């Protein structure tokens, strides 16, 4: 099974939270911080269930999400 994580560009995210709705593993939530543009951005929860499916990145209208697939070497 693939494992992954995501990186959210806090300055690009406008807080639309489409990624939160799309994530099948509930790995993304509305954050509590505000970026320099006044938006509350999304945050990666990192509960260990991300499978790098890329649905969050596909739905993001601001291209603020980078999906990173974790290889076997990185798991150790």
pLDDT above 90 coverage of the chain, percent: 89
Residues 39, 19, 52, 61, CA torsion sign: negative
If one compares 72 and 27, the residue with the highest pLDDT of the two is 27
Taking residues 20-40, report their average pLDDT.
97
Taking residues 10-38, report their average pLDDT.
97
Cα radius of gyration rounded to whole Å, the chain: 12
* Extents of the domains making up the chain: 3-75
Fold of 3-75: Alpha-Beta Plaits (3.30.70)
pLDDT value at residue 40:
97
Q: Is residue 70's pLDDT more than 60? A: yes
Beta bridge partners of 8: 65
CB 64 within 8 A of CB 8: yes
pLDDT value at residue 73:
65
User: Could you read off the pLDDT of 45-66 as tens digits, one per residue?
Assistant: 999 999 999 999 999 999 999 9
The two tokens of residue 37 are 């543009």
Q: Tell how far CA 50 is from the center of its chain.
A: 9
């Amino acid at each position: 099974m693939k494992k992954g994580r995501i990186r959210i560009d806090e300055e690009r995210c406008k807080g639309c939270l489409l990624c939160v709705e799309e994530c099948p593993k509930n790995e993304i939530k509305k954050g509590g911080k505000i970026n320099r543009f006044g938006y509350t951005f999304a945050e990666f929860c990192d509960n260990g269930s991300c499978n790098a499916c890329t649905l969050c990145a596909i739905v993001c209208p601001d291209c603020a999400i980078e999906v990173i697939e974790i290889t076997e070497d990185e798991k150790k």
